Amino acid sequence: MGFIRAFVMFVVLGFSPVYGGESSPLKKLQTGSDSRGWEAVGRLNFGGRAFCTGALIAPDLVLTAAHCLFEKGSGRQYGAGEIEFLAGWRNGRANAKARVRRAIAHPNFEYQQDNRVTRVAYDLALLQLERPIRKLSITPFATEVRPRKGAEVGVVSYGRGRADSPSLQEVCYVLARRSGTLVLSCEADFGSSGAPIFTLDDEGKARIVSVISAKAEISGRNVSLGTRLEKPLADLQALMANAKDAPEQEQKEQQVSGVRVLKLGGAGSGAKFVRP
Q: Where is pLDDT greater, at 204 or 198? A: 198
Number of domains in the chain: 1
Whether residue 47 is contained in a domain is answered as yes
pLDDT band for 269, please (50, 70, 90 cuts): very low
pLDDT of residue 239: 94
Contacts of the segment 241-245: beta carbons below 8 A, 24+ positions apart: 243/102, 243/104, 243/128
Whether residue 203 is contained in a domain is answered as yes
Whether residue 233 is contained in a domain is answered as yes
Average pLDDT over residues 38-53: 94
Encode pLDDT of 131-144 as tens digits.
999 999 999 999 99
**Which CATH number is 190's domain given?**
2.40.10.10
Encode pLDDT of 227-247 as tens digits.
989 999 999 999 999 885 544
- Please tell me the chain's helix, strand, coil percentages from 3-state DSSP, rounded to the nearest 5: 15, 40, 45
The whole-chain average pLDDT of the chain stands at 82
Whether residue 267 is contained in a domain is answered as no
Contact between 105 and 74 under an 8 Å Cβ cutoff? The reply is no
Whether residue 271 is contained in a domain is answered as no
Q: Where is pLDDT greater, at 85 or 20? A: 85
- Angstrom distance (rounded) from CA 106 to CA 261: 10
Whether residue 261 is contained in a domain is answered as no
Whether residue 83 is contained in a domain is answered as yes
The SS3 call for residue 94 is coil
Contact between 186 and 24 under an 8 Å Cβ cutoff? The reply is no
φ and ψ at residue 70, rounded to 5 degrees: -115, 140
pLDDT for residue 218 is more than 90: no
pLDDT of residue 115: 54
